[in-house]
Chain A
Amino acid sequence: MAGFVSRGFGGSRRVPDELAERIPPGQHLESGFPVLTAGATPPVDKGEWSFRIDGDVATEVEWGWREFNELPQEDVPCDIHCVTSWSKLDTSFRGVSMDLLLEAAEPLDAYAMVHSFGGYTTNLEIEDLTDGKAWVVTEHEGEPLPRSHGGPARLLVPHLYFWKSAKWVAGLRVMDHDEPGFWEANGYHRRGDPWKEERYWTD
């Protein structure tokens, strides 16, 4: 709709150019870390937490909390983008690279359904989970990940809208086809690239 101008709108929350180019189209800068969850926050005890990879894999693998924390950990500085239109810049998480986790399982197909304690699901292509693009994280900005933000552990896929970064992550199933997860079945985009503004089914 080129050419449309909102009468009397100047934009009071503009950010400097060097930051603006890190904010995808239709997003605005947010300094806090809003909590958006469908349903109640599930209580997940570290003792019962585990991360499992199964489905079309060479080897099914599962790590309990202690084993998982003995894996090599990485700091992940990143910008994150929520489909509700806020972006948060220069935040950081710490956790285990999905490359390392998937190497142990050896996926035989191209798609994954990530699932969480509490029943949440989200679909991702293996391609979006490999090559240093995804992690399972247990810390946010130097502190244990709060329960409201997915603690004890969440998926982190910062190059896609943040609903893909499943809170309270429990595992992923490798599949030979793509299927919609929770939000993807409820009107949101199959892949969710913020730079292409893939918010909804029809985007």
Chain B
Amino acid sequence: MDGLTPVEQRAPGKWQIATVTDVVVESRTAKTFRFEVPMWLDFCPGQHYDVRLTAADGYTAQRSYSIASAPLERGLIELTIDRLDEGEVSPYFHDVVEPGDQVEVRGPFASYFVWRGEGPVLLIGGGSGVVPLMSMLRYRRARLPEVEMRLIYSVRGPEDVIYARELEQGDETLLTYSRLAPPAWEGHEGRIDAGMIAAAGIEPAGMARAYVCGSHGFVETAAQLLMDAGFGAAQIFTERFGPTG
């Protein structure tokens, strides 16, 4: 199997100036920012970048964002940023940043919540928790189609689906609308449950693993459902987002 390269010990600690080349509106609250990164390093799906903003008087604000793109194109990363109204970094990206702008970034970082091609694999994302999972899904589509992968994706309503079109182009995804399903929707509704885990059809045997990303409550629920379905704690990888504004 043609897996991904291991994460290198020489984590790239240096801040560098990346240039925004594209901004895509993904959902009611999420936009994707594509960056040209001059000192680009190969990464694994699941890793993150830090972003730092500096005001004219030197005040800075810094946050971490998961990489949404797959490591397929050198020099390029995409970050999908959910707007948190009370934050100061995500509203800046949503309200100010446009193609041509420069942003200080450094990364990629962290190597626990990463996917290196192991399978079969069950991805479970809540809201913008789908972002690092999308990097995994994109890499699998492009390079490892033989690896069995399913995505359970929970969103509040139809306006909250990130990557809707791209997800529709494959059959990996089981979508559920937790609050409001569109009219005539025949798929899952409500919170993720044991039925969805079973419907995904990834057996917990052998090398199988699960990646779960979302709010604390979502991750706890999903992890419990996975354990009830026979996944061991060591097969379950989680990432919870706190308020990262």
Contacts and interface: CB of A to CB of B under 8 A. Distances in A.
B10 to A, nearest CB: 7
Interface string B207-239: 000000000100010011001000001101111
Interface stretch (B59-67, B68-76, B137-145, B182-190): B59-67
A72 interface: no
Interface residues of B, number: 52
Contact of B54 (A9, A40, A148, A183): A9
A193 to B, nearest CB: 15
Contacts of B87: 13
A142 interface: no
B13 interface: yes
B1 interface: no
Interface in A165-203: 182-183, 186-188, 199-203
Interface stretch (B27-35, B96-104, B149-157, B161-169): B96-104
Taking chain A's interface residues, is the majority helix, strand, or loop, or is none over half, making it mixed?
loop
Nearest to A10: B55
Contact of A85 (B9, B62, B111, B113): B62
A173 to B, nearest CB: 21
Given A5-B56, A84-B242, A40 B233 contact: yes
B17 interface: yes
A10 B9 CA distance: 35
Given A28-B61, A38-B238, A202-B10, A187 B111 contact: yes
Contact of A40 (B16, B88, B223, B242): B223
Contact of A187 (B14, B109, B233, B238): B109
A141 B113 CA distance: 31
Contact of A30 (B50, B56, B227, B243): B243
A36 interface: yes
- Which residue, of B102, B239, B243, has the highest number of chain A Cβ atoms within 10 A? B243
A8 B92 contact: yes
Interface of A: 1, 4-14, 25-28, 30, 32, 34-42, 82, 84-86, 118-119, 148, 182-183, 186-188, 199-203
Interface of B: 7, 9-17, 50, 52-56, 59-64, 87-88, 91-92, 96, 101-104, 109-113, 216, 220, 223-224, 227, 233-234, 236-240, 242-245
